[in-house]
Structure 1
Amino acid sequence: MQHPESGFHLFDITLLSLPLMAALVGWFTNWLAIQMSFYPVQFIGVGSFGWQGVIPRKAEKMAHICIDRTLQQFGDLQSVYQQLEPQRIVEQVISQVTPRLDEYIDEVMYEIQPVLWDNLPLFLKRRVYQWAREQLPARVEELVEDFGDDLDDLVDLKALLSRELRQHPDLMNRIFQQAGAVELRSVINRGAIIGGILGAALIPLWTRYPEPWLLPVGGFAIGFITNWLAINLIFAPLQPRRILFWKIQGLFLRRQPEISDVWARLVAEELITVEKVADAMLNGARGDRTRAIIQKHLRPLLDNSAVMKLTAQVTVGMTGYTELKKVMNQKAVLATRDVFSDPAFNRERAPIVAGVLAEQMRALGPREFQDILRPAFREEEFRLMLVGGAFGALAGLAQFVSLVALNIRIPI
């Protein structure tokens, strides 16, 4: 490819630019692969043609695997519940309900018999309020104990995770980005190093075969290989291996303890909060069972006191008495939801859930830990590599076209 007007060679400048361009391609394609793993959060496209970030699309699957692995190690949801200190939950319920107990009773009675309750002497109302306050601790303690015994039947944890991740598909992105921030930056930067090395390896080929197709083909190979290496550097090798002076292991696996702590903390703060578990108990597919337990523990409030039962039946009648218990049950459900929506209580309990999850994630073997994260990428990694290769080919073509267009030459 000697220039017709001088003794200069076009490919000499290419020899210098190959490693630099390849390093840029390696860096960019790895950066692009990481971005495509996270974004877009929602599918963009028409029909089956389009893209959604790998992690948002596979978030439910990864969360389910994570819960299966950790709870399988720990036992069941009931065991986690015991770590939350049920007595502390009892105290929370009593502390939240007691100040509003008179208000709850008023709301129930005004719904059933507003005129009667308005005209009831104040000392009788106070008697009802006092009696309810005396009964509350025992009823709550038994209720919380029953919830703990039946928690695995009352809460479909996978359904809870699926619902939350459908409503907030960016949650798993934030978990990954915070848990693996160091590793993701390392993968992108290593792409430049690997790309530069591969670019240098192209120099002998370009020297021997300075053909127009070589730069695009070489660019495709560099983009494809660097993306393949980027994904595999995260998860492989499973066990530490020593190569010359370096000890290597999959980036996520090497920092399993730190990643487990961050992952568990975010899951406990964002997904498996006391408030969301309580909401799943009340409003999930098994909510009828929860309401039945609440009703079972509310019924004695009236039925176990002959005076209160007789008073209620005389004042509201037998039909009204049945309706009274129904409204009490509905009010208790609403009160339960309010109790566990207390942000301070959720923040206080979150570290306990996080500690349980983190302990079990740290105890997982390398393959089990890898299996929490790898399935999402395994199904999409070839497409990511093809995209990297395509951008590498475009970069190689642009490099060749620009060199020819500029007619850059250096003396030999």
Structure 2
Amino acid sequence: MIPLIAAFVGWFTNWLAVQMIFYPIEFRGIPLYRRQEVPLGLLGWQGIIPCKTRPMTEAMVHMVTSQLLSVKEAFARLDPGQVANLLAPEVPALTRSVLKDVAPGWLTGGPAVLMSGLGGISQGAVRHLNIEFLKQLTISIQANIDTVFNLQNCVVNQMLQDRSKLGILFRKCGQKELDFLTNSGLWFGFLLGIIQMVVALFWENPWSLSIGGGIVGLATNWLALKWIFQPVDPVSLGPFGTIQGMFLRRQKEVAQEFSSYFANNVLNAEQLWKSVLTDPETKPAFAALFRDHVERFLGKLTFGAMLGLKSETISSWSNAAIEKLPQHVPVTYSYMDNQLGLQDTLRVRMERMTSRQFERVLHPIFEEDELTLILAGAALGFLAGLVQQGLETGAIKFPSRRRLWVWFRLRIQRPLRRFRNRRSR
């Protein structure tokens, strides 16, 4: 039964290690003492990814911006004229809404009253000015994209609002490796269990089951993690072929999954607009840019007269318009998603990454608390061995302090002393 139990221990500890990476989303336990962004509390646990969402996301964004994507290059693909044509039909409704909320009483009658105050300028001229306003605004956004849009804030804020989102991305990229990590525990554990069985046959000490269980739990986690990411670069074994970490051999497949999820769920047009219009760090820059264009638009509309409008009034109008823009920009989503082409850009450039660059896509989620996962496997394996020991002997008897001390001196202290003496010579 020892190899079979060892196989179960190996599988269970690896399965639990995977669960500990992703769950629970929120800390579960008694929060007597916790350090920030450390999954293990004094009495409780939070999944590694949900706990470390911020540093992991920042590292991922750094990888994306330094190796995969130029925001300025992507936004330059938009045609300002096309964006203007899509938004132009929304302008009348937006104008009515803004005038209703913030304009003086003489304007609350709507655009018709405003038109009468402009000397009867034609509707066609107003539409032309609207499109020109939107076109120039788009050009200014493209030219100042690094000021009005912060990619890191856009991604990090999303991940912090929904801490399961980053885990979903990593699962999509590394599900095969996660399944291997779980299932490999079964046969790694069985093979180690055979060794454990042989030891038990020649060493009649019930504690060999508990110690062996700890070793099985530790070794299965460690071996599986190494098998996934090592070696990073392909290593030729001559006639036996080439070996490389499992994850690294799937570069094209992972590139497809990563680019699809990232472009469609994280950096889609809806999230880009939301970041531009609401990010506290970049919203002031966009508001200033938008106000300048509103002022120029009103200047052209009134032939420079401005109808006595004060700077504060224009600012209040533009600010009100920005608050209402989220209701009107969805008409651009489909065009922007297609034109930006982020999925293809990310996929192609990720496929071209070197093995060492690509290894950093997924490995960080294991590296953050790799030792914790391995030690957790050892602890669980030891407990399983302890249960096995109890079933075999009918009782679990802990050795006395004296016996432990004698064992420590004979097995640890004396060999260590002899080793030190040999080195000193």
Q: Aligned-residue CA RMSD in angstroms?
A: 2.8
Contact kept, 8 Å, 2:78 with 2:336, in 1: the verdict is: no
Structure 2 partner of 1:25: 9
The 1:344/1:385 distance shift into structure 2, 3 A limit, reads same
Q: Which has the higher contact order (CA 8 A, sep 6+)?
A: 1
Distance in 1 (CA, whole Å) between partners of 2:135 and 2:392 is: 80
Distance in 1 (CA, whole Å) between partners of 2:58 and 2:3 is: 43
Structure 1 length normalisation: TM-score?
Answer: 0.83
Q: Does structure 1 residue 302 correspond to structure 2 residue 291? A: no
Structure 2 length normalisation: TM-score?
Answer: 0.81
Give the residue type in structure 1 aligned to 2:60: C
| Deviation string, structure 1 residues 240-287 (Cα, Å, up to 9, x no partner) | 335685743222211111112211221222222222222222222121
Shift of 1:395: 1.4
Q: Does structure 1 residue 94 correspond to structure 2 residue 75? A: no
Shift of 1:121: 5.9
Contact kept, 8 Å, 1:19 with 1:196, in 2: the verdict is: yes
- Pairs within 5 Å for 1:2-401: 17-45=1-29, 46=31, 47-48=33-34, 49=41, 50-74=44-68, 76-82=70-76, 85-87=77-79, 90-95=81-86, 97-110=87-100, 111-115=102-106, 117-118=108-109, 124=116, 127=121, 129-241=123-235, 245=240, 247-284=242-279, 285-307=281-303, 309-310=304-305, 313=307, 318=308, 320-342=309-331, 345=334, 348-349=337-338, 352-401=341-390
| Deviation string, structure 1 residues 47-79 (Cα, Å, up to 9, x no partner) | 222321112223332332233223223563101
| Deviation string, structure 1 residues 352-375 (Cα, Å, up to 9, x no partner) | 212222222222211122223323
The 1:328/1:349 distance shift into structure 2, 3 A limit, reads farther
Contact kept, 8 Å, 1:101 with 1:133, in 2: the verdict is: no
Gaps of at least 5 residues in structure 1 are 1-16, 407-412
Distance in 2 (CA, whole Å) between partners of 1:246 and 1:40 is: 41
Give the residue type in structure 1 aligned to 2:267: I
The 1:246/1:21 distance shift into structure 2, 3 A limit, reads farther
Contact kept, 8 Å, 1:56 with 1:169, in 2: the verdict is: yes
Equivalenced residue count is: 379
Distance in 2 (CA, whole Å) between partners of 1:338 and 1:177 is: 33
Identity %: 26
Which stretch of the first structure deviates more once superposed, 283-292 or 98-107? 98-107
Contact kept, 8 Å, 2:27 with 2:45, in 1: the verdict is: yes
The 1:90/1:40 distance shift into structure 2, 3 A limit, reads farther
Distance in 2 (CA, whole Å) between partners of 1:375 and 1:147 is: 34
Give the residue type in structure 1 aligned to 2:116: L
Contact kept, 8 Å, 2:214 with 2:377, in 1: the verdict is: yes
The 1:212/1:343 distance shift into structure 2, 3 A limit, reads farther
| Deviation string, structure 1 residues 14-51 (Cα, Å, up to 9, x no partner) | xxx11111111111111111110111112223122232
Distance in 2 (CA, whole Å) between partners of 1:122 and 1:157 is: 39
Distance in 2 (CA, whole Å) between partners of 1:172 and 1:240 is: 29
Which stretch of the first structure deviates more once superposed, 288-297 or 397-406? 397-406
The 1:196/1:360 distance shift into structure 2, 3 A limit, reads same
Structure 1 partner of 2:404: none
